[in-house]
Amino acid sequence: MDSRSLLLPISASKEEIVCALESSDTLIITGETGSGKSTQVPIIIYEAFLSAASKNAIICVTQPKRIAAMTLAKRVSYEMSVKLKDSSIDTKLGGLVGYSVRFDDKTSSSTRIKYVTDGMLLREYLIDHTLSTYAYICIDEVHERSMRTDILLGLLRDLQNSRKLKIILMSATMEYEKFFNFFSRPSLPKELSVKKVHVIGRQFPVSIFYTEEPQKDYVEAAVLTVFQIHFESPPEGDILVFLTGQEDIEAARSIIISNSPKDNNWKGSPSLSIVPIYAALPPHQQMEAFKRSPPGTRKVILATNIAESSVTIPGIRYVVDCGLSKSRAFHSNFGLESLIISPISKASALQRAGRAGREVTSVEIYGRDPVIAIAFILRVAFPLWFLLRFRKSKSICNLANLSNIILFMKASGISDILSFGYIDPPHRSSIVSALASLHSLGALDKCGNITELGKKMSLFPLDPFLSRTILAAGDLQCAEQVLSIVALLSVENLVFKSKKELSVEVDSGDSYEPISSLDTEQNVPALIDFYHPRGDHLTLLNIYESYAKATDKKTWFSSHPSINRKSFVMALRTREQLWGFCKKASITTSSNAADSETILKAFIEGFSSNISVLTLPSKRYKGLSSNQEVSIHPSSALFYKKSKAKYLMFNELVFTSKSFMRGVSIIDGLIGKEAAM
């Protein structure tokens, strides 16, 4: 090992890990944050078992987040280049060590250590049901369980009954007994051996402070805490701030910049460098967070939970944590999927705290005790039915929409969904709801068997609602337009503009309100250049087509400062990838112009369960499938429309103060009477 690796606590456990792997089928490695599990365990396995030239097997290491897979692969690739500098082995990234994440692959035929997301490994399973190229599969951060992770664990355990496969589970905060019992269950056809190794960590002490009262505006409170740290604490050490999403991050960034001293240096404090990190950022911009701060500069990293685990961000001394995260949740009784801001788990709280104690004695600052304060916020912000459901749920499987994963299972040949070996079985009602949803989309027949349409839908790395929309677009000869819309829907904060920059009104007629009347909004969508009266989907198409027609792309961006260039470029890459999946699914693509009603009909095929109707005399919208009251999100083009349509279609629900529809279009005249009943 190089000098840095030798300093990691896990180096003292190398022999114990090798011996345990030799004598077991499954190895559970627990260890404090910062012990070196994510980078060193794959290296230990390679050096002990696969370094011989004749060994062609691969070590697969799964990560819950793509940035972790990419960053760890780069770090391990560097370490191997130091170890093997006099060797002929290709140690550049993509050689001996590589990664494979959605829409990005850096591997080759010589790759022996491969970092992937759990979703990518599941897609590999669709092609090869034995995952035959892998001799060792490490599931890292196994405590960050998702429905994909749980299905993956069940599939891997079944594979151990049919072939030799070593499974390594790694985490700082896992439920050891649960995983031990799952992989050593006596009822399995083949007796499997499970062993455990605990690695002593190198976590520095972290002092935790709490605000005395719950914070009404956690973004503002987080920014205030950043300034207090910056001006009242020693100049050494960067600050990591956990927020819920891109909107929070952009708002916090704007507040910090507008309130910082003009000379960016006050009473000897270092200058501030604001670095955002969230999923929608291009990978090279995400990597900025991992660079050391230059002398005389303090870095403030504004992050979502993608910075929570696996990877070490150097230089962090302070963590400011709002104690919340944004995630998708599904209520099977109503057939309702929504994007919610919810409390983080205790395991996640420990992981976030661990970001601070990697290098020096550190301080973590919470908005309040995570359980008490977040429960208070939830009581204010969320409907009672969802709050009760959230509190009673013990498994992530019971908070997830299972449609996507069940479609994968059906495409993989798993016919009996109810009897699959789950580590924590989902509620039967959730499974039944997902099966019914897939049947309504045409992915399953009345007997629950996957259809040819369902097989094509499973080829796309998308929710079934979107993949069904794309397939319908092929039949309606509007695939090119729908792909553009779907790609733009996949990114956050595509369109934004400060109110101060807008001096004109949307429309002076009776149908619209002036933008300047929205005093409560920090940012408003740029409706003037691209607005379509049918709503958001066709407004997005107008944006894409305007860009596509432009001969000078740089000039186009400068002419439309309301477009978030970073997000738009990500959408263009996504569109290119989706085009390739269309070819695999034999979808007819046409360059002919399609009318707006045809395009919306394609979306209705995929989102027939996401339709709301205007109720009288209240003039409020209710979801047809859920019967829940919903409102148009302020980011929608239709938010400004005074006259209300009878029927709306929406892409998703977002919970804040109430249930908001996001991605909204008017579909009056496009749905039959039976759908409206």
Report pLDDT for 656: 67
Query: Does the N-terminal peptide bond of residue 617 adopt cis geometry, omega within 30 degrees of 0?
Result: yes
Measured CA to CA, the distance from residue 321 to residue 305 in angstroms comes to: 10
**Who's near 647: CB < 8 A, 6+ residues apart?**
611, 612, 613, 614, 666, 667, 668, 670, 671, 676
Q: What are phi and psi of 345, to 5 degrees?
A: -80, 170
Stated as kind and residue range, the H or E segment containing 479 is helix 479-489
Measured CA to CA, the distance from residue 415 to residue 410 in angstroms comes to: 6
Report pLDDT for 505: 29
User: Regarding predicted confidence, which is higher, 185 or 615?
Assistant: 615
Mean pLDDT of 444-452: 96
pLDDT over 80 at 671, yes or no: no
pTM for the predicted model, two decimal places:
0.79
Report pLDDT for 496: 54
Report pLDDT for 458: 95
User: Regarding predicted confidence, which is higher, 47 or 510?
Assistant: 47
Reduced to 3 states, what is the DSSP secondary structure of residue 586?
Answer: coil
Report pLDDT for 450: 97
**Who's near 637: CB < 8 A, 6+ residues apart?**
525, 527, 531, 532, 535, 536, 539, 664
Neighbours of 126 (CB within 10 A): 13
Neighbours of 95 (CB within 10 A): 19
Domains parsed from the chain with CATH numbers: 3-199 (3.40.50.300), 206-392 (3.40.50.300), 459-676 (no CATH)
User: Regarding predicted confidence, which is higher, 322 or 374?
Assistant: 322
Measured CA to CA, the distance from residue 323 to residue 376 in angstroms comes to: 12
Q: Which two tokens stand for residue 263?
A: 């000379």
For 398-429, letters b (16+ CB in 10 Å) and e give bbbbbbbbbbbbbbbebeebeebbbbebbeee
State percent of the chain over pLDDT 70.
Answer: 81
pLDDT over 50 at 517, yes or no: no
Report pLDDT for 565: 84
Parallel/antiparallel/unpaired status of strands 194-199 and 271-277: unpaired
Q: What are phi and psi of 82, to 5 degrees?
A: -70, -45
Q: Tell me which residue has tokens 């016919």.
A: 415
User: Regarding predicted confidence, which is higher, 145 or 460?
Assistant: 460
Measured CA to CA, the distance from residue 181 to residue 184 in angstroms comes to: 5
Least confident of 315-329, 360-374, 634-648: 360-374
Parallel/antiparallel/unpaired status of strands 362-366 and 316-321: parallel
**CA–CA distances in Å: residue 522 to residues 495, 519, 561:** 13, 8, 16
**CA–CA distances in Å: residue 123 to residues 60, 404, 444, 452, 672:** 14, 12, 19, 18, 37
In 3D space, the residue among 67, 56, 22, 21 whose CA is nearest the CA of residue 41 turns out to be 21
Report pLDDT for 151: 94
Parallel/antiparallel/unpaired status of strands 620-623 and 629-632: antiparallel
pLDDT over 60 at 185, yes or no: yes
When pLDDT is cut at 50, 70 and 90, the band that residue 500 belongs to is very low
Report pLDDT for 591: 63
pLDDT tens column, 305-363 = 888 876 778 888 888 988 888 887 766 555 566 677 877 877 777 778 777 666 655 55
Q: Which two tokens stand for residue 131?
A: 């995952």
Report pLDDT for 519: 31
Q: What are phi and psi of 398, to 5 degrees?
A: -85, -5
When pLDDT is cut at 50, 70 and 90, the band that residue 61 belongs to is very high
When pLDDT is cut at 50, 70 and 90, the band that residue 526 belongs to is low
pLDDT over 70 at 540, yes or no: yes
C-alpha torsion sign, points 639, 642, 643, 646: positive
Report pLDDT for 102: 80
Measured CA to CA, the distance from residue 669 to residue 677 in angstroms comes to: 14
User: Regarding predicted confidence, which is higher, 604 or 390?
Assistant: 604
Q: Tell me which residue has tokens 């660079």.
A: 291
Q: Where are the alpha helices (DSSP H) in 531-658?
A: 536-549, 553-559, 565-584, 596-606
- Determine the straight-line distance between the first and last CA of the chain, rounded to whole angstroms: 68
When pLDDT is cut at 50, 70 and 90, the band that residue 627 belongs to is confident
Mean pLDDT of 567-575: 88
Report pLDDT for 374: 23
pLDDT over 90 at 81, yes or no: yes
Measured CA to CA, the distance from residue 287 to residue 21 in angstroms comes to: 34
**Considering the chain, what is the average pLDDT of its residues?**
82
pLDDT over 50 at 42, yes or no: yes
Report pLDDT for 385: 40
Report pLDDT for 287: 85
Highest-confidence segment of 103-117, 588-602, 632-646 = 103-117
pLDDT tens column, 250-271 = 899 999 998 887 655 555 567 8
Q: Which two tokens stand for residue 124?
A: 């590999």
Residue 23 burial by Cβ neighbours in a 10 Å radius (0-12, 13-18, 19+): exposed
